[in-house]
Amino acid sequence: MDKKFDDALRHALAPSDEAEYCLNQKILNRVGEKSVMVEREKRRVSVAIIITALLLCMSSATVYAAWKHLSSSDVAENIQDIKLSEVFLSEQALTINETQSYGDYSVTLLSIVSGEMLSEYPRYKNESIVEDRTYAVVAIENTNGVSIPDTSEDDYGKLEFFASPLIGGYNPAFYNIASMSGNYTDMVQDGILYRLLECDNVEIFADHDLYLCVSEGMFYNTEAYCYDKLTGKISRNEEYEGLNALFDLPVDISKANPEKAAEYIASLGVEPDILVEKLNVELEGAFEVEITEDNKKGAEVAEYALQFVGNPYVWGADSLTEGTDSSGFTMSVYEHFEISLPHNSGGQRALGTKIEAIENAKPGDLIFYETPPHVAIYIGDGMIVHAMPEIGICISEVDFDDILEIRRIME
C-alpha cells in the first residue's frame, strides 16, 4: 500500500475523545486491507480523454472540477470502502461538481448518494445498524495554492472544518450532522482535503429546501449563516468574511416522506426547550453577589463577569468587550484570575469539581447546557451570566434550559 495513504489511514483510525456536540473524525474502526477490484480499473478514463474533454469545455467550471479532483468513488476506494465506491459509480448517485470560494478556501461538492446499506462499514446506534444513510464528498483547498497538510502531519490537526447537510424549516444550529448520527473521515491528496461525510438519510425531507454547508470550525457557525424562522430559509451571511459555502441539494422531491420525516424529527428531541422569558432578564437594583468565607474567589469571578453584560456575541471569539462566544466568555473571565480554561465547553466540563444540584451551586461555578453545548457563570439567586447568540452577554435565569452539569473551578 502507498505509504502516504497508509499514514493517512492510520491517522484517521487513531482513537480520540469526542469533542462536545461534534463528530468523531476517526470513524472507520473496522477498516481492513482490501485489494482494489479489477473492474474499477476498467472504468478509469484515460488522462488523454479527460484532457481532450477539458480543452473542448474550457468555459465549464463543472468539467474543470471533475478533471481537477478525485471522484467520490476514488475517495471511497481510498478509505477502503469498496462497496460505497461502487455505489458512487452507479446511477443512484448524484454527481454535482459545484465549486464555491469564500474566505481562504475553495470548496467543491463532488457528489451525494442516499439509500440503505450502501457502505461496508455501517453505522451502529444502540447496538443496531442504521441502514438508511446519506453520503457526500467535498473537496477543500486553499485559494492561494498552498497545499493542505497531510492527515499525518501536525499542522493538519490545526485545521477544523464543519460540513453538514441542513434542512430548510429546521433550525440548523440544532438539526445538523451532529444530531443526525453523523460521521466523517478525511484524506489529503495532492494538497487537497477530501471529506467523506455521512448522516441519516435526508431524502425523506426532499419536500423541504436541502442544503450542504461547509465552514471553518468544529461546530455549526451561527455567524456564518442566516436562518429565517418565518420562511425556514437558510442562507449565507454575506457580511461574514470567512468560509461559509452553502450548496443547494437537488434531491428528487418524489423521495419525500413527510410522515417518516416528522417521526424522525420527534425522535431526535434535540431542540432545547428554551424559556424565552427567562433568557434575557434585568437584575433588580438590590441584587448583590453573595460573598461567603468559603467562596470569596468565586464571588469575585461572578462580580467581574457581570461588568461585561451588554457586550456582543461573536462565535469563535473570546474578547469580553469586542465579542465572544459562551466558552470564550468563561475562559476570558477566569483568565483574569490566572486560571486557564480551554476554549470549548466540553474541555471546561472536565475541570474542577462536580456539584450535584443547583441548590448547592455558588457564585463563580460553571453551569453547562447540552443542546447545543453551552456554558455560563452562576452569579447566585438562581441567575447566570453568559454569552448568548443573537443577544450577547446577558443575564438569565439558570433554568432557561435543562442543566447538564455544574462544575466548581474555584475551590
Residues 181/134, Cβ–Cβ less than 8 Å? no
Task: Point out the domain boundary residue: 238, 268, 298.
Answer: 268
The answer to whether residues 341 and 221 belong to one domain is no
**Domain count within the chain:** 2
Task: Point out the domain boundary residue: 222, 250, 268.
Answer: 268
Residues in contact with 277: Cβ distance below 8 Å, sequence separation at least 6, in sequence order: none
Classify residue 117 by its DSSP letter: S
The answer to whether residues 321 and 395 belong to one domain is yes
The answer to whether residues 55 and 189 belong to one domain is yes
The answer to whether residues 282 and 253 belong to one domain is no
Residues in contact with 112: Cβ distance below 8 Å, sequence separation at least 6, in sequence order: 93, 94, 96, 134, 135, 136, 137, 212, 249
The answer to whether residues 183 and 35 belong to one domain is yes
The answer to whether residues 37 and 21 belong to one domain is yes
What stretch of H or E contains 41?
Answer: helix 38-42
The answer to whether residues 178 and 292 belong to one domain is no
Distance CA 4, CA 85 (A): 20
Cis peptide before 372 (omega within 30 of 0): yes
340 by Cβ neighbours in 10 Å (0-12 / 13-18 / 19+) ranks as exposed
pLDDT score at 272:
61
Task: Point out the domain boundary residue: 237, 268, 299.
Answer: 268
The answer to whether residues 307 and 362 belong to one domain is yes
The answer to whether residues 100 and 189 belong to one domain is yes
pLDDT in tens, the chain (411 residues): 444 444 443 343 333 333 333 333 333 333 333 333 333 333 343 434 444 444 444 444 444 455 679 999 999 999 999 999 999 999 999 999 999 999 999 999 999 999 999 999 888 777 788 889 999 999 999 999 999 999 999 888 888 999 999 999 998 988 999 889 899 999 999 999 999 999 999 999 999 999 999 999 888 888 899 998 888 999 999 999 999 999 999 989 999 999 999 999 888 876 666 777 788 888 877 788 998 888 999 999 999 999 999 999 887 889 999 999 999 999 999 999 999 999 989 899 999 999 999 999 999 999 999 767 899 999 999 999 999 877 899 999 999 988 999 999 987
Q: For residue 170, give Cα distances in angstroms to 83, 231, 378.
A: 32, 10, 31
Residues 205/144, Cβ–Cβ less than 8 Å? no
pLDDT score at 67:
63
Domain that holds residue 147: 3-268
pLDDT score at 403:
93
At residue 143, what are phi and psi to the nearest 5 degrees? -70, -20
Q: For residue 124, give Cα distances in angstroms to 186, 258, 267, 341.
A: 20, 25, 16, 34
